[in-house]
Amino acid sequence: MSTVTTAAHLMNTYFKWPIRLVKGQGNRVWDDKGREYLDATSGIGVNALGHVPPTVAKRLHEQVDTLWHTSNLVEHPLQEQLAEKLAAISGLDRAFFCNSGAEANEAAIKLARRYMQKVKGEERFEIITFTQSFHGRTLATLTATGQDKVKDGFLPLPEGFIHLPYNDVQAVQEAISSKTCAVMLELVQGEGGVYPAEEAWVKELRKLCDAHGALLIIDEIQTGMGRTGEWFSYQHYGIKPDIISVAKALGSGFPVGGILATEEVAQAFAPGTHGTTFGGNPLAMAAGIATVETLLAEQAPAKVKGLHQQFMVHLQAIQQAHPDKVKAIRGKGLLIGLETTQAAADLITYIREKHGILLLVAGPQVVRLLPSYITTEAEIEQIAAALKDALQNV
């Protein structure tokens, strides 16, 4: 019997780069031909500690030999440990664990609606989200997403979502009402072009939610776990949300997601109201615990702030040298967008093929830098040199 080695049996859901990666270590990955690449995508924000971080690998190896799965019908000490660690760095009180970012945002939406209807006794279900946002691929989360391209062919969509312009105070003031269940947003829009929220706007959102009795949900899927230079992006703004979603960097590559909520809001979930078969399994919790412990030991937020400054020195120099080609530099921490006058896809293809560096796009003309927290100064210089070359020659 022959072995199938092509993608003939996979559904065609991704525009894939023409490389097959077979190994990763630190910030480096290797393809099946032996070529080495510098990964400045960190697996789209997942591998914050690099590929196969030793502390996480050790904990996973130990757990593989101990226990993989039971069910959520028994108590889970590892879930309790990870929940306690996340509560300590977030200031929130209760956690629910699932498998992905989309599941986490789905859970956040359900929790908000159920809180209003069963705890507050109010028939609210409308959720305000924002244009150019990205919240996931389930029917509810793609409806929450403020980009039409992800919705094509999936009609009819669930009702109850309102999309408003980002960073627009007046639009929210006019739309929020007694029907509003929650306001949901990313504080740095990753997929939407790397747009940070304005501080005054975020503080006004918190005030408006309080005044109208609505909840504030912060999507921390890409921005959480130190990515922006704080443990969670809302900590830049001096506000406290009611619910946040987490995933990506939480498991260092092992699939894990979750939500955190205040004690008041968390009471809306009672036995039988929400669940997941694989969520919070021992392997995922072991990866999450080891990841958080490592991030704490390495003082990740402070480290990310320092790396951001190093990147900005080089990127601003490139912008000064090519003001006709670099329109803007945006972002926080190690989520940085370089808006250019050129096609971002062409730039990252050139850099991958010529320089062996993996980068992402965040829209037609935005190159997204999403490197790991273990990135070195030499690697920053390597990335900057490749960007400069691409801007000159593509």
Q: What are the tens digits of pLDDT across the range 73-128? A: 999 999 999 999 999 999 999 999 999 999 999 999 999 999 999 999 999 999 99
| Confidence band, pLDDT 50/70/90 cuts, at residue 5 | low
Beta strands, E only, 116-230? 126-130, 161-164, 180-185, 188-189, 195-196, 215-219
Q: Please state, as a whole number, how many other Cβ atoms lie within 10 Å of the Cβ of residue 52.
A: 15
Taking residues 14-32, report their average pLDDT: 96
How many CA within 13 A on the CB side of residue 293? 15
Q: Map tokens 């912060």 to a residue.
A: 218
Domain with CATH 3.90.1150.10 in the chain: 21-45+299-393
Q: Each residue of 233-256: pLDDT tens digit? A: 999 999 999 999 999 999 999 999
Positive or negative: CA dihedral 149, 150, 155, 156: negative
Class of domain 54-297: alpha beta
Residues of the chain with CATH 3.40.640.10: 54-297
Residue owning tokens 């400045």: 40
The model's pTM: 0.96
Q: What Å distances lie between residue 327 and 178, 320, 322, 323, CA to CA?
A: 41, 10, 9, 7
Task: Kindly report, residue by residue over 316-332, the tens digit of the pLDDT.
Answer: 999 999 999 999 999 99
Answer left, alpha or beta for residue 307, where phi above 0 means left and psi between -120 and 50 means alpha.
alpha
Give the integer Cα–Cα distance in Å for 319 and 68.
50
Tell me which DSSP letter residue 355 carries.
Answer: I
Weakest mean pLDDT among 3-12, 159-168, 206-215: 3-12
Beta-carbon contacts of 31 under 8 Å, excluding residues fewer than 6 positions away, are 19, 20, 21, 22, 37
21-45+299-393 belongs to which homologous superfamily?
Aspartate Aminotransferase, domain 1 (3.90.1150.10)
